[in-house]
Amino acid sequence: MSVTYLEAIRAAQEKALQDDPKVFIYGQDVGRFGGAFKATKNLAEKFPGRVMDSPISEDAMVGMAVGAALDGLRPVVEMQFADFSTVGLNQVLNHAATTYWRTGRPCPMVLRLPSGGTPGSGPFHSQSMETIYSHYPGLVVMTPATVEDAYSMLLEAIRMEDPVVFCEHKLLYYHLKAESLPTEAVPAFRARVARAGRDVTCVAYSAMLHEAMAAAEELAGEGYETEVVDLRTVKPLDTDTILASVARTGRLLAVGESWPWGGASAEVVARVASEGFELLDAPPKRLNAKDTPIPYHPNLWAAHRPTAVRIAAALREVLRY
Amino acid sequence: MLRARTVEDKLASLYRAGRIVGGVYLGKGQEALSAAGGVSLQSGDVFAPLIRDMAGRLAFGEPLIDAVRTYLGSRLGPMRGRDGNIHRGDLSRGILPMISHLGAMLSATVGVLFAKRMRGEKGGVGLTCVGDGATSTGSFHEGLNLAAVEKLPLITVVADNGYAYSTPNQRQYACTDLLERAKGYGVEGHGVDGTDPELCLQVVGRAVQRARDGAGPQLVVGRLLRLCGHGEHDDGLYVDEKLRRSTRGRDCLAVMEETMKTRGRGRDWEKWKEEAQREVEEVVAEVSAEPVPDPFEENWRATLTEGATEALPDE
């Protein structure tokens, strides 16, 4: 008996619907159809009137969730693809994210974003949006990399009083499996050392964690021990765990699937450079996707994003300094 | 209407005296349509006003002091100096604090109505106000369509005041009358001369009642003219002189005063005017003595969850 990353997301929503009558799910095709990825399969039947199809209106979907949240409900909005959340961006950044600061009334809602690249998905079905959402105050941005985190962090997100952008990676949906759903969880705002090592720190999150783990394995064969840190949540960023790791290794590579200008990997490097300068034995390095729209053809796509091979090469550079 | 005009005249002079930072946006000429919305709502309803709805706010029960406190940045106001002027709201009273992005409040009002329906609360309605400019946004379209799909009791009052900032109607929309759009959305439409207070009350009141009775979303289009600039920084000289002199350019307050006099109630009108003036002066004096926000005491956290907003290294 095993459970996939996608099943964990579905199970978390089912549990949230069960536990709290204030929770409802809203999004395109999430009702009887069960969602484009089946993340809400059978939930409409089990919870009548609480899992509903929306029109193709990302702005209104989020605006509606803001109103419902302010009136005491806990909406979970599924964007069909993270890429389409740009259409609802105004309601997320200017409405959901500003309300608590402006009024003192929290706006508890979760925006689920099927994120990241998969082969053949191309420029408009592959994006990682955490950079944009993290830049704005008032939002929590989660980027779970494991089945356990997909489950426990989504539950925590739905219970949270603040608006949460939940970036779930499509590449992990079907293939990433765990034995069972977790019964206890590390708090969502804490990063996790996914693999211990003493030579170099590789900070990653979401699907990049698995590329980083493969790269660490490859380097182990060459005699280098890589410590892999899984950020889990990119905002707030657990700087302490990152600095503690760099204190052990003296070297840092930060990896992100998003584009190279700014973002979580830049923030990690900036913080370590600024707050942990004396810990470093080598210049901290970043690795991100190429600065072009995300390509369609698998050959191009594989070269566009950081992979285990590219991460290993970058780690060797940091180690060689 | 009268209280709104009186407090707004005062706010305009405070702005000119340099006592108000940021913009001052008045509802001059739009009081009748706005007040008709506020009057037609009941406790338990939700109201999402826009920038020219002082009259609607006061009619719905927003304390006058909330407006003055927000404009003067009082720490005791609903926005505590964190947001200003027309961006105030009080969720405990059912007033949604608007964001500046036009059309955004439609779907938020739909969300409140959706929550009420999910909890099984019956009879409540939501009313939101926009101008002709907002009808060109995607948000307006998405929000009204969503309300129609969900058949929720949303009343959208469009104050078609001829100009969105300086842009005239003919550069804003190509239909003859925005009311034509109601059919396309599958909602009931109501047109009204926005300069006629009694007619506004009748028409907006009917739309609110239709929504309350379960007839779904209602679109009200009031035709009127903004009798001031976009904000007090703007002289509004671009407004067509012919339009100013037309019936569309009538001042609804003057119309009301005339009606009162015709009915032999001129003295009542004068009395109300004096009362409003006294109230405004008292409130402004009170608020002027109130504390303003202190950056050193401010809680610089945009989130409620412990640890969600990080402390910066220099804090």
A206/A220 Cα distance (integer angstroms) = 22
Helix (H, G, I), strand (E, B) or coil at A316: helix
* Residue B135 C-alpha, separation from nearest chain A C-alpha, in angstroms: 14
User: For residue B11, what are its two tokens?
Assistant: 């706010």
Are A95 and B104 within 8 A, CB to CB?
yes
The residue extents of the domains of chain A are 3-178, 192-320
Residue B314 confidence class, pLDDT cut points 50, 70, 90: low
B29/A312 Cα distance (integer angstroms) = 68
CATH 3.40.50.970 describes domain A3-178: yes
> Residues B80-100: what's their mean pLDDT?
95
Q: Which of B47, B82, B102, B118 to mutate to test the interface with A (most CBs of A within 10 A)?
A: B118
> Within a 10 A sphere around the Cβ of A42, how many other Cβ atoms?
13
CA dihedral A95, A12, A155, A93 (to 10 degrees): -20
User: For residue B171, what are its two tokens?
Assistant: 């550069």
Exactly one of A125, A169, A210, A304 is catalytic; which is it? A125
Q: Which residues of A touch B119 (CB under 8 A)?
A: 72
Q: Which residues of B touch A243 (CB under 8 A)?
A: none
Q: Which chain B residue is nearest to residue A139, measuring alpha carbons?
A: B303
Decide if A166 contacts A111 (C-beta within 8 A): yes
Q: Which CATH number is A192-320 given?
A: 3.40.50.920
Helix (H, G, I), strand (E, B) or coil at B83: coil
- Encode pLDDT of A115-155 as tens digits: 999 999 999 999 999 999 999 999 999 999 999 999 999 99
> Residues A198-227: what's their mean pLDDT?
98
Helix (H, G, I), strand (E, B) or coil at B155: strand
> Residues A241-256: what's their mean pLDDT?
98
Sequence-distant (≥ 6) Cβ neighbours of residue B127 within 8 angstroms: B37, B40, B41, B45, B46, B47, B48, B109, B154, B155, B156, B157, B208
pLDDT reading at A302 higher than 70: yes
Q: What is the ipTM of this complex?
A: 0.96
Are A72 and B115 within 8 A, CB to CB?
yes
- Encode pLDDT of A154-173 as tens digits: 999 999 999 999 999 999 99
The predicted pLDDT at position A180 comes to 96
Q: Can you spell out the DSSP letters for A89-104?
A: HHIIIIIIHHHHHHHS
> Within a 10 A sphere around the Cβ of B292, how many other Cβ atoms?
11
First to last CA, chain A: 46
* Residue A163 C-alpha, separation from nearest chain B C-alpha, in angstroms: 9
- Encode pLDDT of B171-215 as tens digits: 999 999 999 999 999 999 999 999 999 999 999 999 999 999 999
Are B97 and A138 within 8 A, CB to CB?
no
State the average pLDDT for chain A.
98
- Encode pLDDT of B50-85 as tens digits: 999 999 999 999 999 999 999 999 999 999 999 999
Decide if A219 contacts A315 (C-beta within 8 A): yes
Residue B147 confidence class, pLDDT cut points 50, 70, 90: very high
CA-wise closest residue to A42 among A79, A6, A14: A14
Sequence-distant (≥ 6) Cβ neighbours of residue A59 within 8 angstroms: A87, A88, A90, A91, B104, B107, B138, B139, B142, B143
State the average pLDDT for chain B.
96
* Residue A202 C-alpha, separation from nearest chain B C-alpha, in angstroms: 22
Characterize the bridge pairing of strands A74-78 and A226-230. Answer: unpaired
Exposure letters A210-237 (e unless 16+ CB within 10 A, then b):
bbbbebbebbeeeebebbbbbbbbbbbb
* Residue B262 C-alpha, separation from nearest chain A C-alpha, in angstroms: 45
Q: Which of A23, A59, A92, A94 to mutate to test the interface with B (most CBs of B within 10 A)?
A: A59
The amino acid at residue B208 is V
Homologous superfamily, domain B23-61+90-274: Thiamin diphosphate (ThDP)-binding fold, Pyr/PP domains (3.40.50.970)
Say whether A125 is catalytic.
Answer: yes
Handedness of CA A152, A133, A304, A174 (dihedral sign): positive
Element containing residue B112 per DSSP (H, E): helix B104-118
User: For residue A46, what are its two tokens?
Assistant: 């089990």
DSSP state of B213: T
- Triad A87, A85, B106: Cα angle to 5°: 55
CA dihedral B12, B18, B22, B23 (to 10 degrees): 20
B202/B182 Cα distance (integer angstroms) = 19
Handedness of CA A262, B83, A161, B150 (dihedral sign): negative
Are A73 and B115 within 8 A, CB to CB?
yes
> Residues A18-40: what's their mean pLDDT?
98
User: For residue B286, what are its two tokens?
Assistant: 């009170």
A177/A79 Cα distance (integer angstroms) = 23
Q: Which residues of B touch A160 (CB under 8 A)?
A: 305, 308
A149/A156 Cα distance (integer angstroms) = 10
The distance of Cα A222 from the centroid of its chain, to the nearest Å, equals 31
pLDDT reading at A1 higher than 90: no
Element containing residue B36 per DSSP (H, E): helix B31-40
Are B142 and A137 within 8 A, CB to CB?
no
Q: Which residues of B touch A66 (CB under 8 A)?
A: 107-108, 111
pLDDT reading at B6 higher than 80: yes
> Residues A231-249: what's their mean pLDDT?
98
Are B108 and A64 within 8 A, CB to CB?
yes
Q: How many CA atoms lie within 13 A of B277 on its CB side?
A: 6
* Residue A194 C-alpha, separation from nearest chain B C-alpha, in angstroms: 22
The predicted pLDDT at position B313 comes to 62
- Triad A270, A276, A281: Cα angle to 5°: 100
pLDDT reading at A75 higher than 80: yes
- Encode pLDDT of B228-265 as tens digits: 999 999 999 999 999 999 999 999 999 999 999 999 99
CA-wise closest residue to A113 among A174, A149, A154, A148: A154
Element containing residue A49 per DSSP (H, E): none
Give percent of chain A above pLDDT 90.
100
Out of A58, A64, A160, closest to residue B110 by CB: A64
B272/B249 Cα distance (integer angstroms) = 24
Q: Which chain B residue is nearest to residue A88, measuring alpha carbons?
A: B139
CA-wise closest residue to A204 among A116, A265, A291, A295: A265
Q: What is the pTM of this model?
A: 0.97
A·B CB contacts under 8 A: 148
